[in-house]
Amino acid sequence: MLYYLFTWLHKAFSFPGAGVFQYISFRAAAALITSLFISMIIGKRLINFLRKKQVGETVRDLGLEGQKAKQGTPTMGGLIILAAILIPSLLFAKLLNIYIIVVLLATVWLGLIGFLDDFIKVFKKDKQGLPGKLKVLGQIGLGLIVGCTMYFSDSFKIRERIQQSAYVPTTDVFNVEGSTTSEKTKIFAKTAVKSTKTTIPFVKNNEFDYNKLISWIGPGAKNWTWLVFIPIVIFIIIAVSNGANLTDGLDGLATGTSAIIGLTLGVLAYVSGNIVFANYLNIMYIPDTGELAIYISAFVGACIGFLWYNSYPAQVFMGDTGSLALGGVIAVFAIMIRKEIMIPIFCGIFLAENLSVVMQVSWFKYTKRKYGEGRRILKMSPLHHHFQKLGYHESKIVLRFLIVGIMLAVLTIVTLKLR
């Protein structure tokens, strides 16, 4: 909203300083600072309110060190994160930008699903919360909206790179390197086009088109790409959202990991939405995604601000209100900037937590059928509880997981040139 206000002031009255709102870097910094401020102000008051209302976490006895001390800790702190993301985004982002609209929708959508789950657990005294099937249905619904919007809307376009082999008129291409049109160099097409291409890491020509998955159908296969694309979007949203939910088991673990992932996505969004950087790095240029830097700055600020209260020993837990939203937003964000195939790298912590549960449960069921008794691969799943059972202190586990997360983030950014 402030963007439109100051743009009008700048154009109508040449208001001093109003023009600075045209810069994404300024608005991203303002969103980050505002998000931190909101987290700090709202956080303390919400924690006191939750304590007054006795909205505390009910902790199952899993035989873990320090577990009993968490009993009664206020939960539903994800409301702090949601407020710290949504308010700065509404203030500083271009609200008519389709990418901003979709990511805000994802935030509210999954935040509401998580809130319903926490509400049932806390106020209805039902430990199971919202049935798992309804959670998955909600995630599928979001996946359908995001997938259909990206595939069928004309607002989601990219500028493809073309290889000049002969003279191309300057009206047909946009040469960002300042070279003459007769030079044989890869440049961006001036007109954006709809595409189902995405980015593959570690590959020289690092683009993959989903329509290749159904090319065996024949000449008209491209018209049916949505049959592959939309289910993939749904799967990614479910997997990453649940991965963040599973990671939220130690003080500061999900919050810190999400902040690192957010910073990584911010870099990827900025270079993908800047034609100069995209050309230099020889990566896909996606018009209008630079605006996502404002949203992701608020996202990172919300995570860091929440970490002030969620670090060990936690004063508040985010609950599903926060964890489902964080994971889902990360998935949607990565899909929109065409970096979803890189999710296993920069979301490596979420992936490990997911796989640890799948492997543990699958092996237990298999051995129970075969040997009559269930056997375990890990001492306990998700993975962070396995290390707790080994005797590692909670804060040490979190710190080491965050170090691994930073390494994965650096590797992700390096893939922009490492091919």
Round to whole Å and give the CA distance between 44 and 236. 34
Read off the amino acid at residue 287: P
Residues 152 and 165 in one domain: no
Instruction: Give the model confidence (pLDDT) of 115-124 as tens digits.
Output: 999 888 887 7
Query: For residue 298, what are the domain limits?
Result: 26-156+195-343
For the CA atoms of 242, 251, 68, 377, what is the dihedral angle to 10 degrees?
A: 50
Q: Say which range, 94-103, 293-302, 326-335, 410-419, has the weakest mean pLDDT.
A: 410-419
Q: Which of 344, 349, 329 is nearest to 404 (CA)?
A: 349
Identify whether residues 188 and 206 lie together within a single domain. no
Q: What's the DSSP call for residue 379?
A: S
Domain annotation covers residue 401: no
Whether residue 239 is found in the same domain as residue 280 = yes
User: Which of 10-14, 142-146, 168-172, 310-314 is predicted least confidently?
Assistant: 168-172
CA distance 351 to 236: 11
pLDDT at 184: 44
Same domain assignment for residues 51 and 107:
yes
3-state helix vs strand vs coil in the chain, percent to 5:
65, 5, 30
Q: Is the pTM of this model over 0.75?
A: yes
Q: What is the three-class DSSP state of 202?
A: coil
pLDDT at 63: 62
Window from 38-42, 80-84, 128-132, 286-290 with minimum mean pLDDT: 128-132
Residue 181: pLDDT band by 50, 70, 90 thresholds? very low
Each residue of 305-357: pLDDT tens digit? 999 998 888 888 898 999 999 999 999 999 999 999 999 999 999 999 999 99
Q: How confident is the model at residue 170 (pLDDT cuts 50, 70, 90)?
A: very low
Residue 395 lies in a domain: no
Q: Are residues 170 and 302 in the same domain?
A: no
| Beta bridge mates, 399 | none
Q: Is 296 exposed, middle or buried (0-12, 13-18, 19+ CB in 10 A)?
A: buried
> Which token pair is 278?
């995209």
Q: Is the CB of residue 13 less than 8 Å from the CB of residue 6?
A: no
Dihedral (Cα; 209, 224, 268, 107), 10-degree rounding:
-160
Residue 372 included in any domain: no
Q: Count of domains in the chain?
A: 2
Mean per-residue pLDDT of the chain:
86
Is residue 308 located within the same domain as residue 262?
A: yes
Element (H, E) at 64: none
Q: Is 145 exposed, middle or buried (0-12, 13-18, 19+ CB in 10 A)?
A: middle
* Helix, strand, or coil (residue 68): helix
User: pLDDT tens, 350-404?
Assistant: 999 999 999 999 999 999 988 888 889 998 989 999 999 998 999 999 999 999 9
Amino acid letter, 261 = I
CA nearest neighbour of 39 among 280, 298, 229: 298
